[in-house]
Structure 1
């Protein structure tokens, strides 16, 4: 890279501009194509010096046109004229440009380029009847390796030498230089720049997208005197769809005035991208994971963390520096969480989790989110996830703006005063009072409901009903009478419990678990071997049919469950095909406690292997009342512990009929991939089949123990 040296000062620029032979702000009369018009006369600086010609240069549209012979000869080129085709032939060394009057097709070194209409070479007649061929200064100059720019402050174009024999370039004072990434083995080769665009994401804010075929190295330079951001991409060749050596995009939004890019040098190869801004703006340059997409953003929000503060007497989450930020909010299930997406925002620190509690929120996670189908691929988003306490389904939050702060508050609910942890066999329930007080706890075995009575003046918990439905607690109801507040907790099944708090306490603490005297082996389990009959399912490269291994594994599972005392119903026990809805209906008609469909996977990629558990979230099922994720989690954990196999995760698949239409907790187990040679060998191995069955049954038993 050449040294950037300042060799002119603002004073010199001012003196030079003011001494140009043709007044930079004068309007002159010219004639083109038989039409008379007025154009704005403009001078041109070459290496910081004004040059004069017999006829003036002028602005036509958004282009500067100069007399071809004068500018070419000043750049050390030779000009010939072909009268028959009205073509100027400009040569410099081995480079040749052919420019034909009134044609936007120019030939550069035997390659045709298309200019925009304002850049088309013109035969221009001036007021003194002198006619000259006028050409775009940028195209001719850059074709010969010169740098061309426009100084918006002084409204004058400039041409700077870039010949390798020189080590001085004329640039503005006070450049702000930002080094790019270090050169590595992966990005040291020549990169091809396939496109440079100015685009919008999901908001009205523009950003610059640079696409390449590999990771790039770049240097960025901000010129504060003209508000230009210059990005030089090292070891890169510009090969865009237009094929132009120089490209100009007028933007004219409230931040970016224009964008230009060109093959700035060829020895070494450098692609230059220049964004002309209206002012000095903060900017960020970041790349995609593979380094092939580089994005330049301006004036984006900086996310520097969160904290909990007491706002109007209640705890709330505060995010600063977000004045007028656009955001989206949504709730997700399995597990329950609230998601807030901050648009046009960059994550400026490396803290991704905050152990804070407020309302029903027990943890906060943040990430630089890659846009999904809900967003443009050009978006820059910080995603804030509020993890919700176990068993909480009412997850409404309010977001208020306070100057540059976003204040996030869970709506008032019982969870400001209660906590519930259902992550273990022992479930912990606590109720926070506003003072130390006596209380009474009674449990009704018939209705499986616990009643907690607290003096009304000792608690701020509000009246209302809250559904939990986590397979342990159905719901919580709070009522008031003349003297007391009564909290009724309805459990799904019988429980046993202990009181951990004192007889008079400011926090009531209870631990509860499923009543062990109630046997869980009286449960009804439906096992569904997938496919069958004319529906073979997946077929391995060796011809193994999925329907056969599904049935073999299902029969082994049936045998082990029945040996433990469970009531097992099979959707099929031989090679027949059963309608998908009928499989779910078998479970519904028999009031089954759980439904397990056994399958094996396949894909076109033979390297993919491992276990997947599919489920349909409760709120997306046809007639579901219980949470579905806990069964999926328990079975996944059981099989992985038994087999030590590859975990491909627990996946929501609400469109699968058999698990969507089953009313009870239902899962589909994809044991492994028949398309993977190693998985296929394991699937056919009887010892491995036994390990899968043991893990599956252990997962089912652990689920019943917890719920």
Structure 2
């Protein structure tokens, strides 16, 4: 029994143990279920606060729980709360369509479903992104985006969106971008637009330069809606507001007939003329660097007379200074301004004065054919402007009155692509029809005809130029028909049907885009459009995209899209037609200003190479209207000369002085004696649209000076017989056989090396210009030289290199002095760039040119030849012609410095460089 009890106890104990195990298992099971329930609960919470998203690339649906991105533009939300942006790898992705297309940003966006790409264009920049890839293109250039675009569906909204990296797109389109992490918001902002201006009644352009201020004796002048502007490196100020309606208190007069400006103060009388480079102070002539102009601010539709600030202030007895940091013309009173003699106010015209002017590098450009990339043209035989028959009268009386019962378009007239013909049907022959046109309406008066009051709607006619036709009775017996067109640019004619005398035809010839020419010359890209009528396009500049709309104008060729690989800034061009007109899109490599020139029915859009360039645009001569004057005894055909100057006393070429002032876009011809009155009676003939102005003055040396201003750098050559002085004016390469750009290194605020109280810039300039010009400017027929600087100013390295292409140079030579931390190093080195070492047409390379200079200089000057070296110095690396940089010697070596600063050594150095250039052209002739 005892045993049985023990056995039973064991059994119970066992049973208890077994129950404990089951209980433990159950506890674990409940614990695991609890954890799962916790996770499910957490996911349910996450799902409630997150976004269910389906990714088309991964083909998976998931819950997005990170920050939901909002987007603002100029402070206002443009994103949708129901479909917010998302974060991916720390980058904010937003809907390209919501944010960049359907918002005030208003970018042009295209989704190519087949290619899986999104194209976003604004302000001249086109960004192409591919879904699922970080490979992107900006204006055709391959780049890497920080994160790939994604195509997703917002499951709850059942909306599909393509999301793109917001910062990458915004900043590449030129917008300011700020990420506000604390509120998960992307802030996109836009800078203010430039002023829309025009100069001297020219075409409007967006001025993107400095909008300057003016102070007089420390007090700011309220310039109203017209701040000062910078052109040709000169600050132009409001004449009346700054110099008359201010503390200066000059007496101001503007004669609108002859466009003269007169400012008088304290006995000084300053006379200037709009567009003229010649001014007069107290009757004494002097030359302006920049002519006065009329500037129209189209934002407020007001015009202002603007004058060069520095010279005007100086002539009126004030000191002038340009503050580059603040963009301010600082005008201050002189202590002796009340007693100063008028003649002492005449500004100094030497080049040192330019250092005070804003250094913006403006240089005018104008239209020149250059290389034509593409040209589309409608055959001339398909274009017509009408016969001019707008009245029909057969001189007879109708036997009976008729009824006009229908007006319809005739489609079988396919002779001309720019015409539409409409037939007017009546029950009796037409006898007399008169017409007139006003605005966009043609009115026909038809005698002895009845008609009902009815309006025909022509809007359903595809591509029709006609909108409506209204028929009604003008009086009790005569009908009137009003044809309302969609444009006011048209001509028309009337004609009877050749078969039926009860049908009258009205043919309307409307504006048509006949020709498009895309080209590049040495200073710019251009697009010339030619229509039947003067063109009034709507142009918008969006940084790297320029759109040109021609409302109501059709074109005579198919839609075009071309990539342009060898232009300066033009990347692609698209020409297409829609129901509201013809449109052009100009894609640019970089943001650029555009300028326009209009002549007759042609309209040219110019994209200058220099971003800050503000061109002065002359009109091309009209064929037949500006035929060259034929003198009595021409040297040869007079049509080859752009200037024909009456010869006042049979002067020979040897008696005529001339000076090329290419840095101011002009040249001067000087005749011994006073012939000012002679030329007022015997005017100079101009046969070139590139010549902007010709002024004649008597200079201080009692010589008659003829100042010829051009729209771009031109070469010139003089000829003479007893009756005329002939001047050939053309691009430098068409005038000169051999052209070189000489670059005195450093200058202005970039002095270069400094040893023994001497700056490198001083030695470079003295050898190459002050001493060298007696060689380099001695005979343009042998060697024509252009200098990158002719005074102590800083010119950017890029501008120096680009100058060679601008003037059509054959060679480029830059002069520098060397230096080393080791005072024992000495000798001559010549550098070139291996990247700019292709042979020119004559077989000359930069490396060959470097060897010739290294050998000749060291032989003639007895310096140590340290050889030639290939380096990527900007002036040689980014050049377009064979180019070298000469390091003549080491300023850091005392013995060599003595040579470099010795006048005899400097003279021989300049002479050796000159003779080496002549040798180069003998060995490698240009062939011109």
TM-score (ref. length: structure 2):
0.19
User: Which is greater in Rg?
Assistant: 2
TM-score (ref. length: structure 1):
0.25
